[in-house]
Structure 1
């Protein structure tokens, strides 16, 4: 076994001389074998070893005894020891996690603390070849995506250095034989025998069958893991080159992408672009990325469909809404929280409404060159005060410039491809008779007024404070 591990360490550049190694030790055969092995080469590599043990407080006295056993062993072998008790059940309940996930987060929190305090180069963990087979199979069954399908990485960045796993080249049997050979009496966790846990069902049912077919199945899975990692990293890098091109904007309202640009990307990269976007959004919120391949396929279908409006709900409250040629990814769409409103327009002055600010000033004359999508000039003698800003009502119509008849606001919104959630909050300027005068950023009512009378006009400018999908000029 030692020769396998030595070659594996050299092949993957897992150890360097004159470095500090934190060793995660539970007291079981795997981690005790790892601690013993690293201690046996400590002088050769001039390593500083620190054993780190975490009591998850899940098995009462038994788990406390495990940590005390590790501490006693370290004292006997003259190895630095750090132990900490973590109330995993309390953490689980506070963060609404499974026991397994809560235990892992608590454990890695302690590992990070110890690595940082000692400025360690590596955290050595005792995952072995059987763990790799189980993990890869579990993730395939679960529907994982991308590099996650490759299972447990041999080496990855963590805290002040890297996590290394020198035992992925050997099996549980090898480690138990190693303990017997060197007189190590490890502790055993009876919960590892229970089929109440998913991993244990793979361990006790699936793995024996695979080993019967190929006793070295762990070698094949490790090879496959490393090749998949290389392939997935390359495809992910290609996908990253497309991400910035498809993103229209990224703000508090959410991340919006251009669908036509997205659909020009090769299909295998489309999935990975979606995956990268989801990982980015979840990590920004400090949330676990709980999406799987089924969610990516659902979003791919949403983006490829001819239907102009649809949405998908993903884990942890992420909502993806398609509207015409754009798609919005958001945890909290701001416009959804705005209710219908109505307010009187101050003339002159600034009027604030939930979607933006309206500024009114007297103008000496109508300036046609200043007429823009967010500015309108109204002739004072043509309006009936008070003017009001409100959200739309059923049956609203406007007589747009250049048309002899009226047009429904609903039709204008559809023709301009305004998203549904934006239509409900769009500000509308009406007069005292509730006649629609202006649909800011979209339509004005009457033809351009004429005349040069002093103070005969008012100039109204609208500056939106929420995303309405239109540029101001």
Structure 2
């Protein structure tokens, strides 16, 4: 109780009057935490609500866990919500491991009840041993400061871990003292999962080899990493504000300024930017960050994950959702009104021409005009040139940001591109001394000057 209260107070986890959603499996950790929080209800004026998710992986044993949870909550007058989710099926349908799927399902249900009660915090029963195990898992994945700082005391100002400074043996002694009789998941003793292997085999071997409790030494390293992480959080935010713009789900980073940063600053800025964009750094490891840093060629792309990507332009590095470059409106040829009027060349002076309203030789237009977005391999003859040029190369030469390229409309006749919106007409339809009739086109209404 003393350790838990010290952790709560040090990290400002709970305020008077808070509603706390508690993840409750029925195992020793969550049972001890829920029992301890229930003892604090009056002292802290808090409301606690338990949530249990039956993963349906252990048959009757899982059902017995669920019944135990219901009985305990009824005895201690704690509101309880239970859910049954076939995690094996969920994992298969979503191409996830059991562990990843179970975590996703649990947090989805926690958040559902969190919203239902308009709660303030979600309490998760990770303990000190979990911190050590997570450190070792992340170490072997090649993690940086974020991974080596292991499990956060608080996340997103919602997730709290009140017993993170309490060791597993202390949890077990607490359960014995109050005769809580927790449910024991015997699969924890099996070495099918990586965490179990570390708990049951790796750590005991380390303790024997170093002739000491390696958990305590690792925990000191974790605490140092947490201090480093806190420093970088401040630094990351400052770098982001100085180098980045964030609009319409797109983060743009000045490549000139980015290249002037130390490699450590580049890595940390990208991590902050990705988390800002996607809301998470889950599965964003060293390789992902390095792929982005290694981009050199203009137009080069690096995949961040299934939903986000990075792309290098001549002046900026862009991070954005994969579907952002798709503009469905531009797939429809009739999505925009193209205003057009045909007049004799003698009346051209009455039309106020500019980048948004252009004049073409009407007799050089083949068939009807229509609009579309660019396609791979598009070419046209820019005004003043004799040969064809790829639209892609034209945009690069004109330093058009690559995301904007997907929004620029092309006006075409039945044979060719005649105008790149607001930029350049084709030399093939330019006005010459032989021109007799002109067609004025614009995406704005045409007004004839008096």
Q: TM-score, normalised by structure 2?
A: 0.77
Aligned residue in 1 for 2:100: 101
Structure 1 residues 222, 268: CA separation in 2 closer, same or farther (over 3 Å shift)?
Answer: closer
Match of 1:127 in 2: 126
2:302 to 312, 336, 341: 312
* Aligned residue-pair number: 429
Structure 1 gap ranges (5+): 340-351, 464-473
CA gap 1:243/1:104 in 2 versus in 1, 3 angstroms: farther
C-alpha distance in 2 between matches for 1:330 and 1:116: 27
Call closer, same or farther: CA 1:102–1:223 in 2, change over 3 Å.
Answer: same
1:418-460, Cα deviation, whole Å (9 max, x unpaired) = 689969x97465698x7x8655523552898588x9x943322
2:448 matched residue in structure 1: none
Provide structure 2 residue ranges, at least 5 long, that are not aligned to the other structure: 445-450
Take 2:285 and 2:201, find their aligned partners in 1: how far apart are those partners? 25
**How many angstroms does 1:4 deviate by?**
3.1
Corresponding position of 1:270: 266
Using a 3 Å threshold, how does the CA distance of structure 1 residues 12 and 392 change in structure 2: closer, same or farther? closer
Q: Is the 1:398–1:408 contact (alpha carbons within 8 Å) kept by the matching residues of 2?
A: yes
2:317 aligned with 1:324? no
How far 1:462 moved relative to its partner?
5.6
RMSD: 4.3
Cα distance change, pair 375–217 in 1 and its aligned pair in 2 (3 A): same
TM, length-normalised to structure 1: 0.74
The verdict on how the C-alpha distance between 1:372 and 1:23 changes in structure 2, with shifts beyond 3 A counting, is same
1:344 corresponds to: none
C-alpha displacement of 1:59: 0.6
1:457 is matched with 438
**What does the per-residue CA deviation read over 1:256-284, in whole Å, with 9 as the maximum and x for residues that have no partner?**
6553354355544433333344334435x
Tell me how far apart the structure 2 counterparts of residues 55 and 394 of structure 1 sit (CA, whole Å). Answer: 54
The separation in 1 between residues aligned to 2:365 and 2:278, in whole angstroms, is 51
| Other-structure match for 1:334 | 326
Instruction: For residue 366 of structure 1, give the secondary structure of its aligned residue in structure 2.
Output: helix
1:375 aligns with 2:357: yes
The residue number in structure 1 matching 2:173 is 177
Q: Cα distance 1:396–1:61, how it changes in 2: closer, same or farther (>3 A)?
A: closer
CA distance in 2, matches of 1:156, 1:272: 18
Runs of 4+ with deviation above 6 angstroms: 335-339, 389-397, 418-421
The 5 Å alignment of 1:243-282 reads 244-245=244-245, 250=248, 258-264=254-260, 267-282=263-278
Deviates more, 1:385-394 or 1:310-319: 385-394
**Inter-partner Cα distance in structure 2 for 1:107 and 1:150:** 23
Task: Tell me how far apart the structure 2 counterparts of residues 443 and 234 of structure 1 sit (CA, whole Å).
Answer: 49
Relative distance call for 1:261 and 1:117 in structure 2 (3 A) is same
Match of 1:291 among 284, 302, 313: 284
- State yes or no: 1:362 paired with 2:342: yes
By how many angstroms is 1:409 displaced?
1.9
Decide whether the 8 Å contact of 1:133 with 1:218 is kept in 2.
yes
SS at match of 1:316: coil
Q: Distance in 2 between matches of 1:206 and 1:154?
A: 25
Distance 1:462 1:48 in 2: 59
**How far has the Cα of 1:241 moved from its partner?**
0.8
Over 3 Å counting, the alpha-carbon distance change for 1:380 and 1:90 in structure 2 is closer
CA–CA separation in structure 1 for the residues paired with 2:18 and 2:61: 33
